[in-house]
Amino acid sequence: MDKNGGECMHHELKELAEAWAARPVEERLGMSRRGFMQFCATLATTLGLPAGAEAAVQTAIEQKRRPSVIWLHFQECTGCTESMLRAEHPTIEKLILDIISLDYHETLFAAAGHQVEAARKQAMADDKGKYILVIEGAIPTRDDGIYCKVGGQTAIELTKECAADAAAVIAIGSCASWGGMPSTGPNPTGATGVAEVLGKPVVTIPGCPPNPYNFLATVVHFLSFGALPEVDHLGRPKFAYSRLIHENCERRAHFDAGRFAMEFGDEGHRKGYCLYKLGCKGPETYANCPTVLFGDAGAGTWPVGCGHPCIGCTEQGVGFEKPIHMLAKVKNVEPPASYPSVGEAQGKGASLGSAAVLAAVTGAAAGAGAMFAKNLGKSHAEQEAAKRKDEGRQDGKADNQSVGRE
């Protein structure tokens, strides 16, 4: 299909999506009115919004025009998209048909070549200054970026072209956030993050992969309030990345009590003890993994819950750089060396014989202590007497010298 065919396809998809969006929101989302209100309240809570903010979220989803999203892929494994495909609240088809208008996405498009590139350019023209640019994957910069090209353009060129008229830029995944795995040494392609290429801050949602609800909540915040959520100094939304994993981990109580798994498969590991000694990076990694979980598959659906140490994939300088077995730098409290052994023996009641022996030992110790105190007192008294005697000699000597001079 030629370029004109791509533009026609884009308009046809737009018309179908608009017709679908005109239907009642409960019908489109496949949930009851009560379920929809709970969904909006959950999103508002996830974003850390004050009470009553769910009404703004509800209005935005029901009435506002869905934001157009241009989604680019560069140096990555498509794990971020795969994570989004497994979202359940809402599912992917409801996300792209009811929450956003996904107008360009190489992985999800059935078409290819000229027609999809034409669809991208048409979407950018139709929603100039209004669309959200999402970038997945690191951007190679060495040798003018020749190591990643799409449609004859380098990743650098595409990023700058699409970001020029975007209302917001979101870097999804650790690769797009700062370079991730492609940027680890020796980094032969010069891979880096989106902000480095654009020369300005962007919203980053790191993770390998990130939780899809962190992305969804960020988009809904933009849809509801016309602005992206508050971010930290690294561009990460504070609602998702303001707390250490260690603070909300279900194994934290074992850490505080000094109960650690020492080897994979040992008794402590089987009992669900803390994985700090196995290299868990939760104490130095900011993310909401223990509270939001992954895959909507129930409790424990995140790495630490499943028995594997956190590798710190959301934290630059930790994920993909520190070996998995290396101990994390605990940012809030260091585990003291006086913690008991994981296999500490259980105590038993004393027998009559052992009690007698203990009493004898205690008596002997008490007697020795009394003698030591007594001897210590004698020693002190003797020292004082010797001191006074010496002072007396010095005084007598001084008197004799004085008489001789006279």
**CATH T-level assignment (fold) for domain 3-239:** Rossmann fold (3.40.50)
| Tokens representing residue 17 in the block | 């999506």
**pLDDT in the model for residue 30:** 65
Tell me whether residue 8 is annotated as binding.
no
Could you read off the pLDDT of 250-303 as tens digits, one per residue? 999 999 999 999 999 999 999 999 999 999 999 999 999 998 887 666 677 889
**pLDDT in the model for residue 183:** 94
Q: Which residues contact 207 (CB under 8 A, 6 or more apart)?
A: 80, 173, 174, 214, 287, 313, 314
Residue 403 in this model has a pLDDT that exceeds 50: no
Residue 394 in this model has a pLDDT that exceeds 70: no
301 CB neighbour count, 10 Å cutoff: 14
Give first-to-last CA distance, the chain, whole Å. Answer: 132
Strands 132-136 and 168-172: parallel
Q: How wide is the angle at C-alpha 299 spanned by C-alphas 274 and 98, nearest 5°?
A: 130
Could you read off the pLDDT of 47-79 as tens digits, one per residue? 666 666 677 777 766 665 678 889 999 999 999
Residue 372 in this model has a pLDDT that exceeds 50: no
Tell me whether residue 40 is annotated as binding.
no
Q: In what order do the strands lie in the sheet with 203-205?
A: 101-105, 68-73, 132-136, 168-172, 203-205
Determine if the peptide bond prior to 188 is cis (ω within 30°).
no
Residue/partner pairs of 184-187 with CB below 8 Å, 24 or more apart: 184/320, 184/321
**pLDDT in the model for residue 112:** 78
Distance CA 159, CA 324 (A): 33
Distance CA 252, CA 256 (A): 6
Q: What is the mean pLDDT of residues 214-239?
A: 88
**pLDDT in the model for residue 366:** 46
Among all chains, which residue has been given the structure tokens 């992917």?
Answer: 92
**pLDDT in the model for residue 381:** 55
Residue 383 in this model has a pLDDT that exceeds 80: no
Confidence of residue 342 (pLDDT cuts 50, 70, 90): low
Tell me whether residue 233 is annotated as binding.
no
**pLDDT in the model for residue 361:** 46
User: What is the overall mean pLDDT for the chain?
Assistant: 79
Side chain identity, residue 271: K
Q: Taking the domain 243-343, which CATH number applies?
A: 4.10.480.10
**pLDDT in the model for residue 115:** 83
**Phi-psi region at 156: left, alpha or beta (left = phi > 0; alpha = psi -120 to 50):** alpha
| Tokens representing residue 272 in the block | 């669900």
Distance CA 1, CA 107 (A): 18
Count of residues making up the chain: 406
Q: What is the mean pLDDT of residues 207-225?
A: 86
Confidence of residue 7 (pLDDT cuts 50, 70, 90): low
Q: Which residue has the higher pLDDT, 353 or 45?
A: 45
Please report, rounded to a whole number, the percentage of residues in the chain having pLDDT higher than 70: 67
Beta bridge partner(s), residue 169: 133
Q: How would you class 240 by CB atoms within 10 Å of its CB: exposed for 0-12, middle for 13-18, buried for 19 or more?
A: buried
Tell me whether residue 162 is annotated as binding.
no
**pLDDT in the model for residue 309:** 95
**pLDDT in the model for residue 374:** 46
Could you read off the pLDDT of 83-141 as tens digits, one per residue? 888 777 666 666 666 677 888 888 888 777 888 888 889 989 999 999 999 999 999 99
Tell me whether residue 306 is annotated as binding.
no
Residue 32 in this model has a pLDDT that exceeds 80: no
Tell me whether residue 313 is annotated as binding.
yes
Residue 362 in this model has a pLDDT that exceeds 50: no
Give the number of C-alpha atoms closer than 13 A to the C-alpha of residue 35, restricted to the C-beta side: 10
**pLDDT in the model for residue 149:** 94
78 CB neighbour count, 10 Å cutoff: 15
- What DSSP designation does 326 have? S
Return the domain boundaries, the chain: 3-239, 243-343
Examine domains 3-239 and 243-343 and report if their fold is the same. no
